[in-house]
Amino acid sequence: MANTGTDDEDEISIEETDQASRTHGVEFGDLEEHLESQEYPTTAETLLDAYGDHELELPSGEASFSEVLEPYADESDQQFSDAGEVRQAVLTMVGDEAVGETGYSDRGVDSEGDDTHSF
């Protein structure tokens, strides 16, 4: 019996969909589509009025879009030229909240204790 690969294709499709709305530990969900279709340039105040109630999923819980972007609303001259700038602002504001486990690294430990890497 030949394997058509449809199960693998379905898994990849679901994974790609999940990754499309997740950026560096922040799950934007349907807010991603809204930000992409938003007319730019725009202000934080406009974005908060339209999408402030959307929830962002973080590894450590949830935060509303308004909670995260609120500091930008205090700057009246702050404008966003595209959805990428809005996503970057969100990532900047969530900081360590978007990190699954602070201090975690999946890099191997040198068994000889040779600490030649500097960061």
Q: Where are the domains of the chain?
A: 22-95
Which burial class, exposed, middle or buried, applies to 80 when counting CB atoms under 10 A from its CB (0-12, 13-18, 19+)? buried
Q: Are strands 79-80 and 42-43 parallel, antiparallel or unpaired?
A: antiparallel
E strand map for the chain: 22-23, 26-27, 42-43, 55-58, 61-64, 79-80
Per residue in 27-72, pLDDT (tens digit) is: 999 999 999 999 999 999 999 999 999 999 998 889 999 999 999 9
Please list, in sequence order, all residues whose beta carbon lies within 8 angstroms of the beta carbon of residue 35, skipping any fewer than 6 positions away: 28, 47, 51, 83, 86, 87
- Is 99 a residue whose pLDDT tops 60? no
- Pick the more confident residue, 8 or 95: 95
Q: How sure is the predictor about 116, in pLDDT bands with cuts at 50, 70 and 90?
A: low
